[in-house]
Amino acid sequence: MTGSFWRFTLLIALKDLRIEGRSREILYTMGFSAALVVLVFSFALASASDPAQGPILAAGVLWSSTLFTGTVALARVLDRERENESIRSLLLSPAPRAAIYAGKVIATSLLMLAVEILLTVLVGVLFSTGVFTHLVWLAVILLLGTLGFAATGVVFSAALLRSRSREALLGALLFPIVIPVLLAASRATACLFDPLSPDLDPVSFWTRFLLATDVIYISLGLWVFEPVVSGD
């Protein structure tokens, strides 16, 4: 990856983030709807209020909500391009397609991470679980899980730019594919949240799995993004 690649990647990511930062619309709406999703889950699962289940429920709800609101972030990050056809100008620019992809992935991930921090606090409170006991591990898992989701999602969201059924289809296409990420992340997080777990071996296992998965997804995304987005 040459220096200009990273320069373009950063440019694109920062452009998107600056736009979001200015209006904060997406951050507020995403954050609010994510929190609501967590609440919905909490109410639905209220009967299973066995305290021993706390960590597992917290982890599961955290990652499920993340996935759902992640699709909103994906739609938004690519939406700007759809609105004023700026994807065309983006594609005509000297920026290598791979940099566009990487930039979008980074922007999406950062948006999602911001909301995830809020969600983590929320599930900690609602399920009476200590969530910040292993802060570094938690940060790593949140990052890797989010990256995996974004790496796949950007490809599909970009491909669906001109589709009418985009909202309906994005989740339907994306979720089966990112199940391994969901599994790994929620298992690792559940172990992290659990004060009774003997050691963190599962965490390190699933973290390595997530790392491998991310490498695979990002590589594939980089390879596939250009042919998917170019043409007609």
Which of 125, 216 has the CB closer to other proteins? 216
Structure tokens that stand for 160 in this block: 């669906």
CA distances to 17, 116, 139, 188 from 130, in Å:
31, 16, 15, 15
CA distances to 115, 187, 216, 228 from 193, in Å:
19, 10, 27, 40
Told to check if 177 binds other proteins by CB under 8 A, we report yes
* In the complex, minimum distance from the CB of residue 166 to other proteins, in angstroms, rounded to a whole number: 8
**Residue 188 C-alpha from the chain's centroid:** 16
From CA 123, how far away is CA 72, in angstroms rounded? 20
Among 9, 65, 108, 213, binds other proteins (CB under 8 A): 213
Which of 127, 225 has the CB closer to other proteins? 225
Told to check if 200 binds other proteins by CB under 8 A, we report no
From CA 163, how far away is CA 99, in angstroms rounded? 24
* In the complex, minimum distance from the CB of residue 31 to other proteins, in angstroms, rounded to a whole number: 28
Told to check if 13 binds other proteins by CB under 8 A, we report no
Which of 189, 213 has the CB closer to other proteins? 213
Amino acid present at 230: S
Structure tokens that stand for 204 in this block: 């390190």
∠ CA(163), CA(169), CA(173), 5° rounding? 125
| The one segment of 5-13, 86-94, 126-134, 209-217 that binds other proteins by CB under 8 A | 209-217
Yes or no: say if 185 and 116 are a contact pair by the CB < 8 Å rule. no
Per-residue contact flags (x/-) with other proteins for residues 117 to 156, judged by CB under 8 A: -----------------------------------x--xx
Among 162, 195, 196, 198, binds other proteins (CB under 8 A): 162
Binding residue count for other proteins, defined by CB under 8 A: 33
Among 94, 195, 198, 231, binds other proteins (CB under 8 A): 231
**Residue 105 C-alpha from the chain's centroid:** 9
Which positions lie near other proteins, rule CB under 8 A? 152, 155-156, 159-166, 168-169, 172-173, 176-177, 179-180, 183-184, 187, 205, 209, 213, 216-217, 220, 224, 227-228, 231-232
